[in-house]
Amino acid sequence: MRIGFVGLGVMGGRLASRLTGVGKLTVYDVSERAMEPFRGRARLGARIEDAGIGAEVVGVCVGNDAQVTECVAALLPVMQPGAVLMVHSTVSPDTVLAAAGQGQAHGVEVIDAAVTVTRYDSADAPFVCAMLGGDVPVVERTRPLLDAYATDTIHVGQVGTAMSLKIINNLVSLVQITVAEEAFRLAALTGTSLDAVQSVMTRNGILTPVMKGIAARAGQPPADRETLARRQGQARNCVKDLALAEELARSVQTPSAAATFAKAQFWYAYTAELPAPRQ
């Protein structure tokens, strides 16, 4: 199988690394540093189009709607009729639907293939749940890729539906992170026993695995500038996802107070240096 992949960031790089033994792989990223780990394992593209030429399936995992739109515009004209383009990026369902419409003019199928991490260890193994939107026969043509990187696959419905699910899932997880970051910081600043906080939250059933991970570093600022910069990059992406949740809610004429709250608070909650504790 001839495979292309565009976008080798934190998520895209891990997805693409699972594909090096699946078929003839061509990768592309604007960062040469991001492509370097694939040297000798895949063909390194010099431009976006290189990932699409001759490919039967192309994955796209870039940062935002504008970048997805740019990739789609570059890839569709060079992909062979009958090929499939998978959008892994978290973007608006409308962006995927627009890409699918453009794909029809080129005989290329576009599906949404949103992913969320299910395995957090460092093992070289499937590590995401893949949410899929598109006709089942089209989705099944991407099965070799899904089997390589997905612990679970869920066919949600037609194109766009999987992206809606990913946004809804992110809304829940990011609100949870916002609350946990603020709660455990508050405990640290007021001298409240973190062990006692976790014990109570475990007993009443609200301490989730995500919250437990945050509690493990509660009361401590980012360890160094590199860690802080990484967390700031993560925060920017999370705020983008919360804006997508607001947009999704508006599209069905309902407000999302949770998305609005978390979007306003997330940057501080996730990146703030710890103030001096209360005396």
Question: In terms of DSSP H, where are the helices of 86-193?
Answer: 93-106, 136-140, 143-149, 161-189
Cα distance between residue 161 and residue 245, in whole Å:
14
The DSSP-derived string for 166-183 is: HHHHHHHHHHHHHHHHHH
Angle between helix axes 194-203 and 161-189 (nearest 10 degrees) is 140
Which band of pLDDT confidence, cut at 50, 70 and 90, is reported for residue 246?
very high
Structure confidence at residue 51 (pLDDT) = 98
| Structure confidence by residue, pLDDT tens digits, 182-229 | 999 899 889 899 899 999 999 999 999 889 888 887 767 777 888 888
Between strands 43-44 and 2-6, the pairing is: unpaired
Cβ neighbours for 232, distance < 8 A, ≥ 6 positions apart: 271
CA 16: distance to chain centroid?
14
Structure confidence at residue 198 (pLDDT) = 93
Cβ neighbours for 129, distance < 8 A, ≥ 6 positions apart: 115, 116, 118, 150, 151, 152, 153, 154
200 in Cβ contact with 128 (< 8 Å): no
| Structure confidence by residue, pLDDT tens digits, 54-99 | 999 999 999 999 999 999 999 999 999 999 999 999 999 999 999 9
Which band of pLDDT confidence, cut at 50, 70 and 90, is reported for residue 102?
very high
Cα separation values, 271 from 46, 181, 182, 192, 211, Å: 35, 9, 11, 21, 16
The residues that bridge with 132 in the sheet, in sequence order, are 113, 155
Helix H or strand E encompassing 213: helix 209-216
Q: Which residues of 206-219 are buried (b: 16+ CB within 10 A; e: fewer)?
A: ebeeebeebbeebe
103 in Cβ contact with 135 (< 8 Å): no
Sketch out the chain's domains with CATH numbers: 2-158 (3.40.50.720), 165-271 (1.10.1040)
Q: Does the pLDDT at position 279 exceed 70? A: no
